[in-house]
Amino acid sequence: MRTAHAPDLATVRVGRLEAFRRRPLLLGAVGVVLLAVAMVAGIVLGNVPVPLADSIAILARRLFAWPVAETWSPAMETIVVELRLPRVITALIVGTGLAVAGTTFQGLLRNPLADPYVLGTASGAALGAAIGVLVPVQIAVLGFGLVNLLAFGGALLAVAAVYRLSGGGGVGSMTSVLLTGYAVGSLLAAGLAMAMYLAGSNIRQIFFYLLGSFAQSSWPQLLIGLPVIAIGCVLIMLRARSLNALLLGDEAAVHLGLDVKRERLILLALASLITAAAVALAGLIGFVGLVVPHVVRLVVGPNARLVLPLSALFGASFLILADLVARIPGELPVGVITAIVGAPVFVVLLRRFRGGYEV
Amino acid sequence: MHGLSVSVAGLRLTYGRRTILENVDLDIASGERVCIIGPNGAGKSSLLRCLTGLVPTEPGMVRIDGMPLAELGRDRLARSVAVVPGQVALPFSMRVEEVVALGRIPHEHRLSGPRLADHAAVDAAIERAGIGHLRGRDARELSLGERQLMLIAMALAQQGRLLVLDEPTVHLDLRHQVEVMQLLVALNEREGLTVIAVLHDLALAASMFPRIVLVADRTIVADGPAAAVLTADRIRDVYGVDPRYLPALLAPLL
């Protein structure tokens, strides 16, 4: 028998996290500390360990031109400044972008299973990358090779096609957008299969891209990739109100004063742009955009004003740490690590907070 | 603070070649409590959708407090007219007070979010709807009756002076039907809110609303107190009910 005073299982378990729910800033502070620790670990640890003091001194000297005596080898300096720092920053910005885009797609589509790749972005990017591998042309724009550029273009083209084919999304039509995304994704996947069949010995390169990696991260790539994702994320966060209004559905959102069609187009475009930029920087990395927003929501509730920035923080830390784990045994694809960690975490969450989600 | 008046003149609504509403004229004064009834597909919900700006209408067909709907603008409309959502499916787990707080969206600061006044309005709305005991509960685990009261609280947090409801008592047990109705009557009589509701239960409509508007066949066919609108002949014609069943169905009215 259930009395009014007997809290159910889910309430008891969430109870421990209640402090964060009452004071989300506290969780933000935890997120900032975690991010700082992850960044330091990402710079210090690796196949060639660089002592913490030396790392700090190198960065102080190179970034802020502090007059610090050189007690390290030039190789160490190159490792820190040219390899690890851009790599850590790329993981940070990609993790931020995927978490924010995932939160946005889940809110827009009102579907907890949505992730940044749900509207065909993944297959579009994959097909673009595969074509980039097949075409024997070498070009590089701002540090991006043909593979990255075609992945970026493929992702954006796929979303644009989905949006157009589904009729642009009037009030109450997000289901058709989702289904169109599935259809377009399946079609592009067929193209990808064909490209892989034709790739012969280059197939490994395509696979590498499909599973994601930060091995190619460089400063020139960040020069364009970082501002695109950062600005996109800020613009989405400024529209948190719209995501909140959409929680109760399109009609309720109209009655709360939202221009549903316009806001949805803007949010969709921003989230897709972020996803495409993230894909161009690091390939397809799953689970960050799906799991991180859910974990944050379970702790602080679905208010987008909180979920967006907190997801950004934890997504960044998660991906920096995942990349660290991926490169220590010798360059595993980072997407494998995020899946190995993300999938069980997701299953545990769903079981614990049963009733918390229904599809 | 007075309730808003609504005036509809020569309203016509078409979807493609299908005419949904035509020649609809309706004047609802400030502080009235009006129930819209009619058979399924007659156009009741469409009429509500026109009144609340969900469906665009030609300029001047619908006026809120004398002001054409289009000139009111989205923001002011959302702050003046509170619509209690019909079917709601929440995609994520949400607490009752978080759902009620959504009603503050038209008022809260676009960027910095809710302020003290917004939190106070949410507390007041929860209090007014009598759902203080539901705080902290997962909104998706509520009974239908509790859920309806939560959605009304959300509309109250919106602080509109016109409250619009589409079948607020559907699927509710008797106790919750009465609870919802008492709340609507109190909001209307004590706080002066204009209330417009669509109902299917004729007996409930007749006992709780001083004015009944009967919509049938794309237009308003009768408008006035229950006794004048709900005559046996008219109900038989409009609803197409076999006269043999009428006495049983209408016993509470006649």
Task: Note the pLDDT of residue B194.
Answer: 96
A1 part of a folded domain: no
Over chain A, what is the mean pLDDT?
85
What confidence category does residue A6 fall into, taking pLDDT thresholds of 50, 70 and 90? very low
Angle in degrees, 0-180, between the axes of helices A203-211 and A174-199, rounded to the nearest 10: 150
Phi, psi of A175 (to 5 degrees): -65, -40
| Least trusted range by pLDDT, from A67-81, A250-264, B68-82 | A67-81
CB A94 within 8 A of CB A282: yes
Mutation for A interface: B105, B135, B158, most A CBs within 10 A: B105
A5 part of a folded domain: no
Task: Note the pLDDT of residue A173.
Answer: 66
Mutation for A interface: B54, B79, B84, B102, most A CBs within 10 A: B102
Q: Is A111 an interface residue toward B (CB < 8 Å)? A: yes
Task: Note the pLDDT of residue A12.
Answer: 44
Q: What percent of chain B has pLDDT over 90?
A: 63
Single-letter code of the amino acid located at B56? P
Task: Name every chain B residue with its beta carbon within 8 A of the beta carbon of A296.
Answer: none
Task: Note the pLDDT of residue B80.
Answer: 93
| ipTM (interface pTM) | 0.92
A227 part of a folded domain: yes
Residue A168 pLDDT > 70, yes or no?
no
Q: How far apart are CA A293 and CA A309, in angstroms?
A: 10
Residue A227 pLDDT > 50, yes or no?
yes
Q: Which residue of A has its CA nearest to B76?
A: A257
Task: Name every chain A residue with its beta carbon within 8 A of the beta carbon of B111.
Answer: 238
Q: Where are the beta strands (DSSP E) in chain A?
A: 140-141, 144-145
Closest among A100, A352, A112, A102 to A247, alpha carbons compared: A112
| pLDDT 10s digits, A304-329 | 999 999 999 999 999 999 999 998 88
A42 part of a folded domain: yes
Which residue among B74, B78, B85 sits closest to A251, beta carbon to beta carbon?
B85
Tokens coding A240: 């948190």
Q: Are strands B62-64 and B67-68 parallel, antiparallel or unpaired?
A: antiparallel
Domain of residue A42, CATH code: 1.10.3470.10
Q: Which residues partner with A78 through β-bridges? A: none
Closest among B233, B215, B123 to B166, alpha carbons compared: B215
- C-beta atoms of B93 and A110 within 8 A: no
A217 part of a folded domain: yes
Q: Is A84 an interface residue toward B (CB < 8 Å)? A: no
What confidence category does residue B36 fall into, taking pLDDT thresholds of 50, 70 and 90? very high
Q: Is B110 an interface residue toward A (CB < 8 Å)? A: yes
Q: Are strands B211-216 and B33-37 parallel, antiparallel or unpaired?
A: parallel
Task: Name every chain A residue with its beta carbon within 8 A of the beta carbon of B83.
Answer: 252, 255
Whose tokens are 């007070």? That residue is B97
Q: Which residue of B has its CA nearest to A171?
A: B54
Task: Note the pLDDT of residue A16.
Answer: 67
| pLDDT 10s digits, B107-130 | 998 888 899 999 999 999 999 999
> A257 lies in which domain range?
13-352
Number of helices (H) and strands (E), helices first, in chain B? 11, 10
Query: Does residue B156 sit in helix, strand or coil?
Result: helix
Task: Name every chain A residue with its beta carbon within 8 A of the beta carbon of B53.
Answer: 254
Which residue among A249, A251, A256 sits closest to B105, beta carbon to beta carbon?
A256
Q: Is B102 an interface residue toward A (CB < 8 Å)? A: yes
Indicate the number of domains in chain A. Answer: 1
Which residue among A107, A251, A298 sits closest to B54, beta carbon to beta carbon?
A251
What confidence category does residue A170 fall into, taking pLDDT thresholds of 50, 70 and 90? low
| Least trusted range by pLDDT, from A45-59, A283-297, B33-47 | A45-59
Whose tokens are 């091995």? That residue is A215
A2 part of a folded domain: no
Q: How far apart are CA A206 and CA A210, in angstroms?
A: 6
Burial class of residue A19 (count of CB atoms within 10 Å of its CB; 0-12, 13-18, 19+): exposed
Task: Note the pLDDT of residue A143.
Answer: 67
| DSSP one-letter code for B170 | T
Write down how long chain A is.
359
Residue A354 pLDDT > 60, yes or no?
no
- C-beta atoms of A356 and B93 within 8 A: yes
Residue A5 pLDDT > 60, yes or no?
no
Q: Which residue of B has its CA nearest to A114?
A: B91
Task: Name every chain B residue with its beta carbon within 8 A of the beta carbon of A244.
Answer: 102, 105
Region B192-209 average pLDDT: 92
A4 part of a folded domain: no
Task: Name every chain B residue with its beta carbon within 8 A of the beta carbon of A260.
Answer: none
Q: Is B107 an interface residue toward A (CB < 8 Å)? A: no
Q: How far apart are CA A191 and CA A207, in angstroms?
A: 15
What confidence category does residue B79 fall into, taking pLDDT thresholds of 50, 70 and 90? very high
Phi, psi of B23 (to 5 degrees): 50, 45
Q: Is B77 an interface residue toward A (CB < 8 Å)? A: yes
What confidence category does residue A10 fall into, taking pLDDT thresholds of 50, 70 and 90? very low
Query: Does residue B126 sit in helix, strand or coil?
Result: helix
Region B132-154 average pLDDT: 92
A317 part of a folded domain: yes
Q: Is B70 an interface residue toward A (CB < 8 Å)? A: no
Region A184-205 average pLDDT: 86
- C-beta atoms of A298 and B102 within 8 A: no
| pLDDT 10s digits, A124-146 | 988 998 888 888 777 777 667 78
Over chain B, what is the mean pLDDT?
90
Phi, psi of B147 (to 5 degrees): -65, -40
- C-beta atoms of B85 and A357 within 8 A: no
Residue A11 pLDDT > 60, yes or no?
no
